[in-house]
Structure 1
Amino acid sequence: MKRSASWLLLALAVLSGLAAAILPRALPGLIPGWLGSALFVLALVLAFSSLMRWQLPDSCDSASPGLRRRYTRELMLAMGAYVLILFASVWLLRHIEAPALRALVALLPVPPIALALRAIVRFIRDSDEMQQRIELEAVCIATGFVSLLYLAGGFLQTAKVIDVPAAAALIWLFPLVCLTYGLAKAVVSRRYR
Structure 2
Amino acid sequence: MLLAMMGYTAVLFASITVLRGDMIGADWLRILVAISPVFPALYGLHAMIVFIRSMDEFNRAVIAEATMISAGAVAFISFAYAFAQQATDLLPEITLIWVLPAIIGGQGIAACFVRGRYR
TM class by shorter chain equals: 0.7 to 0.9
2:96 aligns with one of 170, 180, 185? 170
2:26 aligns with one of 74, 98, 111? 98
Structure 2: give runs of 5+ residues left out of the alignment: none
Instruction: Supply the AA of the counterpart residue of 1:163.
Output: P
Deviation at 1:187, TM superposition (A): 2.1
Hey, what's the Cα distance between the residues in 2 that align with 1:120 and 1:174?
A: 15
Over the matched positions of the two proteins, sequence identity in percent amounts to 40
Higher relative contact order (CA 8 A, sep 6+): 2
Instruction: Supply the AA of the counterpart residue of 1:137.
Output: E
Instruction: Supply the AA of the counterpart residue of 1:101.
Output: L
Aligned length: 116
2:54 aligns with one of 110, 120, 126? 126
RMSD (Å), alpha carbons: 1.5
Deviation at 1:151, TM superposition (A): 0.5
Instruction: Give the match's secondary structure for 1:172.
Output: helix
Show the 5 A alignment for 1:77-156. Answer: 77-94=3-20, 95=22, 96-156=24-84
Structure 1: give runs of 5+ residues left out of the alignment: 1-74
Hey, what's the Cα distance between the residues in 2 that align with 1:180 and 1:77?
A: 24
Residue of structure 2 in register with 1:184 after alignment? 110
Hey, what's the Cα distance between the residues in 2 that align with 1:171 and 1:97?
A: 24
TM superposition score normalised by structure 2: 0.87
Instruction: Give the match's secondary structure for 2:95.
Output: helix
TM superposition score normalised by structure 1: 0.56
Hey, what's the Cα distance between the residues in 2 that align with 1:90 and 1:78?
A: 18
